[in-house]
Amino acid sequence: MSKQPDSSTAKPTSFHYDAIVIGTGPGGEGAAMNLTKKGQHVAVIERHSDVGGGCTHWGTIPSKALRHSVERLTEFNNNPLFSNRQDNLHLTFKDILQHAQGVVGKQIRMRHGFYERNRVDVIHGEANFVDRYTINVTRADGNVDQITAKQFVIATGSRPYRPADIDFNHPRIYDSDSILNLEHDPRNVIIYGAGVIGCEYASIFRGLNNKVELINSRDALLSFLDAEISDALSYHLRNNGANIRHCEEYESVVGDETGVVMELKSGKRMRADCFLFANGRTGNTDKLNLQAVGLEANSRGQLAVNTHYCTDVDNIYAVGDVIGYPSLASAAYDQGRIAADAMTKGHSDTHLIADIPTGIYTIPEISSVGQTEQQLTESKVPYEVGRAHFKHLARAQIADQPVGTLKILFHRETKEILGIHCFGERAAEIVHIGQAIMEQKGSGNTIEYFAHTTFNYPTMAEAYRVAALNGLNRLF
């Protein structure tokens, strides 16, 4: 039986740094910036050659840039102003990736400037713990530096889950990171996993006119959404040509010289020349040597923390994807800042807001904040619904973006706003108008605010006035 490490290692009398942050994604950046503003001597460890983490290099930024390019391409091809063309403009995945890479480069330069201006040392290499105050950093050339700090923040993020029975070395089998290396122009794509990432890439590939098979192990798309919004997404993906298969699990995935064959447990077989596995993520904790400090990650590679993001070891904190829910870049940045407060003051007066907005960059876009109809019904809350359909808004008509709905859920008696759900162009921007009013205290967070406020005309924001009047008219 192996001896358990002693997490109560004697505290050194001097340190290289007050705090070391492992990872430079949103969570690490939030922690490092707040720590240095509070006068701490801070270093960040980044195992890749550039700062920014998975959010900048493989996740949020490139996928959203890809989606934007595809949406503009679709808009161009469908615009009647250009209908005199004989053929639609065709771009490949590799073509539109060039725009995404340009955005990534700008983000890297900007974030590197943050660390430089705030005098945060950036150390490139793979970090692993020696004890609760010491880490080894293995550089790209194999040299190892040993560095000490009073406190640490683990912000190493996550990576796509890769089941052992799928050969990800095959040139036609990808995960949501490696798909950014796609070189060929596939005619048909199988996407296994219909979570946020799977649905977003289904939209991207359909926008490029690829045939898409979207395989979902559950009985509905994004079941955490309001059911009406989930149904709308399913309808529009199918209407745009995607084939969605619910309640399916793979039996085998085998690549050959020309493509990939997937067999499902239901007996179905399908073939494509590109296969994307997008079913789950794993926290990046396996190389940290956590046992040296007495920490243990769960089966998903995630660490348990308290309300101030401190782990079971009182000088080691963790933020972002590595702690699980909500696994959002926006929340990770706030978690990092909150952790920095707790590290310097012993506590934090701020917490993540209760209603964290969700943005899903499918085509059309989805965003929501607050409770769903299912949740309110289950809780027996007497609510009512106000709706505005984008097709009735002048701004949507001008932009030729008629698909979409804004939906406001509010209490029948107090008129307090309980949830906002938006489906359509700029949904992730529009939702923040409602979020701002929801967060007001007292009587300022009622739907009547929107009924009595003058909006610019024509705007998409006007949907709030239309939805408010629609909902208030339902009361009796």
327-348: average pLDDT? 95
Chain segment 391-404, per-residue pLDDT in tens: 999 999 998 899 99
Q: Do both 79 and 188 map to the same domain?
A: no
- Mean pLDDT is lowest, of 148-152, 181-185, 247-251, for 181-185
222 and 289 part of one domain:
no
| Residue 324 shares a structural domain with residue 371 | no
Residue 21: the pLDDT is 98
Query: According to the annotation, is 46 in a ligand binding site?
Result: yes
Task: For tokens 């194999």, name the residue.
Answer: 142
**Looking at the structure, do residues 203 and 326 belong to the same domain, yes or no?**
no
Q: Is residue 295 part of a domain?
A: yes
User: Do 291 and 303 belong together in one domain?
Assistant: yes
Q: Residue 236 to residues 199, 221, 242, 403: CA-CA distances in angstroms?
A: 11, 12, 9, 9
Q: How many domains does the chain have?
A: 3
Q: Which of 279, 295, 329 is the last residue in one of the domains?
A: 279
Let me know if residue 187 belongs to a domain.
Answer: yes
Residue 48, marked binder: yes
Q: Is 319 annotated as a binding residue?
A: no
Assess whether pLDDT exceeds 90 at residue 370: yes
Is residue 354 annotated as involved in ligand binding?
A: no
Are residue 83 and residue 65 in the same domain, yes or no?
A: yes
CATH of the domain at 257: 3.50.50.60
**345, 375, 390 - which closes a domain:** 345
Q: Which of 281, 326, 103 is nearest to 334 (CA)?
A: 326
Q: Are residues 190 and 261 in the same domain?
A: yes
Same domain for 335 and 268, yes or no, is: no
Q: What is the pLDDT of residue 449?
A: 95
157 carries a ligand binding annotation: yes
Domain identity same for 341 and 237: no
29 is in an annotated binding site: no
Residue 50 in marked binding region: yes
CA distance 217 to 278: 11
Q: Could you say which of 312, 345, 378 is where a domain stops?
A: 345
**Tokens 């706030």, residue?**
334
111 and 202 belong to one structural domain: no
* Residue 195 assigned ligand-binding role: yes
CATH code of the domain covering residue 443 = 3.30.390.30
Report whether 212 belongs to an annotated binding site: no
Question: What confidence tens digit (pLDDT) does each residue in 27-50 have?
Answer: 999 999 999 999 999 999 999 999
- Model confidence at 86, in pLDDT bands (50, 70, 90)? low
Q: Is residue 12 part of a domain?
A: no
The answer to whether residues 56 and 148 belong to one domain is yes
Mean pLDDT of the 157-179 span: 96
Is 269 assigned a ligand-binding role in the annotation? no
Q: What is the mean pLDDT of residues 349-355?
A: 90
The proportion of the chain whose per-residue pLDDT surpasses 70, expressed as a percent, equals 97
330 is in an annotated binding site: no
**Confidence band, pLDDT 50/70/90 cuts, at residue 4:** very low
Q: Does the annotation flag 249 for ligand binding?
A: no
Asked whether residue 197 is marked as a ligand-binding residue, the answer is yes
Domain for residue 215, yes or no? yes
**In terms of residue numbers, what domain contains 21?**
17-159+282-345
CB-side neighbour CA atoms (13 Å) of 96: 23
> Is 355 part of any domain?
no
Residue 52, marked binder: yes
The answer to whether 47 is a known ligand-binding residue is yes
Q: Has residue 286 been placed in a domain?
A: yes
**pLDDT exceeds 80 at position 240:** yes
Instruction: Tell me how crowded residue 3 is: count the other CB atoms within 10 A of its CB.
Output: 5
- Residue 227, both tokens: 């059911």
Q: Per the annotation, does 113 bind a ligand?
A: no
For residue 258, what pLDDT is reported?
A: 86
Q: CA distances (Å), 338 to each of 54, 353, 454, in order?
A: 21, 12, 36
Return contacts of 452-457, CB within 8 angstroms, 24+ apart: 457/394
CA–CA separation, 82 and 72 (whole Å): 13
Report whether 404 contacts 389 (CB < 8 A): yes
Which spans in 260-362 are helix H?
A: 329-345
Question: Looking at the domain assignment, is residue 357 inside a domain?
Answer: no
Same domain, 61 and 150: yes
Burial class (CB in 10 A: 0-12, 13-18, 19+), 240: middle
Is residue 61 one of the residues assigned to a domain? yes
